[in-house]
Amino acid sequence: PASHASREIVELNVGGQVYVTRRCTVVSVRDSLLWRMFSQQQPSELPRDSKGRFFLDRDGFLFRYILDYLRDLQLVLPEHFPERSRLQREAEYFQLPDLARPVKLDQGLHSEHVRLM
């Protein structure tokens, strides 16, 4: 049981920022890059940092919004968020078109709360 539980928790090092989440969260969007990485490949094939965490050479600050989206399938951004175009690029990299689309559409608005179904 302990080994099964440890496989359910995923530690990610994204650009130097460490995130700990459940595997089911990481694979919640079918056909996304993370879904393919963690459901199609063997974990031993994925790059790791010196502490054994899965390593992604991406923007660690913006990944929090990617992870929040994977948890709830909705995007909630702060009222003043100047990183919209960068977040859109990250969403495209992670192959999350339903996240990239609202970020692109809402790039001139102030406060965002976009629910995706």
Task: Give me 34's structure tokens.
Answer: 């993370």
Give pLDDT tens digits for 9-45: 999 999 999 999 999 999 999 999 999 999 876 777 8
Q: The domain 2-115 is classified under which CATH number: 1.20.120.1200, 3.40.50.1370, 3.30.710.10, 3.30.420.40?
A: 3.30.710.10
Q: pTM above 0.85?
A: no
* DSSP strand pairing (17-22 vs 9-14): antiparallel
**Please, which residues have CB within 8 angstroms of residue 43's CB and are 6 or more apart in sequence?**
54
In the chain, domain spans: 2-115
> pLDDT tens across 56-105, in order?
999 999 999 999 999 999 988 888 889 999 999 999 999 999 998 877 66
